[in-house]
Amino acid sequence: MRATNLYAPTLRQTPADAEILSHQLMLRAGMMRKSANGMYHFLPLGWRTIRKIEQIIREEMDAAGGQEMCMPILQPAEYWQESGRWAVYGAEMMRMKDRHGHEYCLGPTHEEMITSLVRDEVRSYKQLPLMLYQIQDKFRDERRPRFGLMRSREFIMKDLYSFDKDVEGMNLSYRKMYDAYTAIFSRCGLEFRPVEADNGAIGGGHSHEFTVLADAGESSIACCTKCDYAASDEKAELAPVEAPDEEPRELEKVATPGTNTIESLVSFLNIPIEKTIKAVAYETEQNALVLVFVRGDHEVNEVKVLHQLEGVLELRMAEEETIRAAGGCPGFMSPIGIKKGTHILVDPTVMNMKNAVSGANETDFHYKNVNPSRDFKDVVVADLRLVREGDPCPHCGAPVKMTRGIEVGQVFALGTKYSAAMGATFLNEQGKEKPLVMGCYGIGVGRTMAAAIEQSNDEHGIIWSRSIAPFEVVVVPVNGKNEEQLRYAEEVYGELKKAGVDVLLDDRPERPGVKFKDCDLIGYPLRLTIGPKTLEEGTLEVKIRKTGEMFHETRENYLGKVQELLKTL
């Protein structure tokens, strides 16, 4: 490819509406343009990177036994009604009607579509296992599209669905995908962690998110500092903290005027915060009160709370009248004296506490010498707290470190959630009818591109890994109007192409400064420069984008050197 033939309009200024670095750099490097809110054009350079990421994904999916196919983006509402998700998917689904009044959505995911397909075709265990995938646009009506490709309304996804005859088979498919994802993100040159994740709305069994470590990431993850345990903050399990042993004293109600926060209580009673019990009062969609108790210095993890409440999808802060109706008092809550039948959830760390302080369900009063294992009745004890830096790893006990990341892929063991709801069954070896056991596995292709940029850039622009760079090498004649330099550059360009290197010739009649700036901004891994001095010496100047290192190579040796360097970039 010649730059005079390339549509790559670079920008010197950072566009005002691009909030994060990857978005700014992709716009400036002429890789993408905004079409409308949350919708983007990929320009030729950006599309080359997308295609390279897709190719890596394809190769690894095929190697793991996947078969590529293509399903319609437009999906009939009936399938979603069968699975029960049409009613619960909410406002993020792009819905529409055709001229006959039939309802459709633009696919946010394809579990329903693929299940409806295979249920008519897969009849016997002999047809299993089966792995089908596609790489295609998905749609999500984000309330506030932002961060460029990170939260767009239309986005490219690879989605694979596995079908097995039993849970062991599903676990094997899951493992294959886990390993394939590890290979994909390694080949893309990314620093990432597979993170134990919560299942969210998709439901089913276990799940991992593949998260690229980057400060701009929206995911907060806990990584063990010793072993390879990593989990999203929503998921991270926490063992109960022991409390120092003390002789339990008698429960005592004390006046604590104006102490409706943990901070004010700690300073009024002059006690360590670890002696206090904090309450958070929620209300479900059905207006049921849910009281959650954690140690004073801990935070509640709402996802864990939701897991304790069957059939509840959302929580909101409780209204004062709901709390009062159950016998509680806002700011002074305790499980002691709450009306029977109220959901009371207590973190196990609280159950270990001795002679602690909690509210007394009365304004300006607290209980002292609360011994939860003695005093709390009719409570559900469950891990409810949010992980924080320094908490012990559930696998080895070493402290965890909190880092930020960008979720680029996820693997879900779905089980029979969709097959059972939609009647996708097969006959097993015993001739018995069984629901297919499924898994689903997604990769955000555009997000992977954005994450690579977030992770690897400097003040001059993007630094691509060779595997996903729009071009591996750029050849730059310093003076694009000098015939001798152009001819020499053409020859080098031809030699590289012949050797199978993905190369761009920057033959534009621009000033050298402009061309060099563009090279650094777009981030080609290697730049070969041809100028008057190199011509005189019969050499080329090689610049490694990643390190900034520059050196000269003879015409005889440069090709071998370029190929050798590319292997390391």
Interface with Zn ion in residues 461-520 (CB under 5 A): none
Return the range that interacts with Zn ion (CB under 5 A); candidates 110-118, 248-256, 388-396, 561-569: 388-396
The four Cα atoms 423, 127, 412, 397 give a dihedral, to 10 degrees, of: 130
Smallest gap from Cβ 300 to Zn ion, in A, equals: 24
Return the range that interacts with Zn ion (CB under 5 A); candidates 269-277, 310-318, 385-393, 512-520: 385-393
Contact 60, 186 (CB under 8 A): no
Return the range that interacts with Zn ion (CB under 5 A); candidates 162-170, 391-399, 411-419, 446-454: 391-399
CA proximity to 21, closest of 212, 165, 149: 149
Smallest gap from Cβ 196 to Zn ion, in A, equals: 12
C-beta of 397 vs 423, nearer to Zn ion: 397
Interface with Zn ion in residues 128-167 (CB under 5 A): none
Smallest gap from Cβ 213 to Zn ion, in A, equals: 17
Binding Zn ion (rule: CB under 5 A), the pick from 63, 325, 380, 396 is 396
Please report whether residue 255 would count as binding Zn ion according to CB under 5 A: no
Binding Zn ion (rule: CB under 5 A), the pick from 324, 339, 374, 395 is 395
Contact 34, 526 (CB under 8 A): no
How many residues in the shown chain lie near Zn ion by CB under 5 A?
8
By DSSP bridging, strand 252-255 and strand 365-370 are antiparallel
C-beta of 63 vs 227, nearer to Zn ion: 227
The three-class DSSP label of residue 124 is strand
Looking only at Cα atoms, what is the longest distance across the chain? Answer: 96
In 298-445, where do the E strands start and end? Answer: 315-317, 343-346, 356-359, 365-370, 380-381, 400-415, 425-427, 433-435, 437-444
Smallest gap from Cβ 401 to Zn ion, in A, equals: 11
The four Cα atoms 253, 258, 259, 264 give a dihedral, to 10 degrees, of: -140
Return the range that interacts with Zn ion (CB under 5 A); candidates 34-42, 154-162, 389-397, 406-414: 389-397
Binding Zn ion (rule: CB under 5 A), the pick from 393, 469, 522, 569 is 393
Smallest gap from Cβ 402 to Zn ion, in A, equals: 14
Continuous H helices in 108-261: 111-118, 167-187
CA distances from 125 to 128, 180, 385 (A): 5, 25, 43
C-beta of 224 vs 277, nearer to Zn ion: 224
Which two three-digit tokens encode residue 542? 């090689």
Interface with Zn ion in residues 210-229 (CB under 5 A): 224, 226-227, 229
C-beta of 393 vs 445, nearer to Zn ion: 393
Rounded to whole angstroms, the Cα distance separating 408 from 212 reads: 7
* Residues at the contact surface with Zn ion, assessed by CB under 5 A: 224, 226-227, 229, 393, 395-396, 398
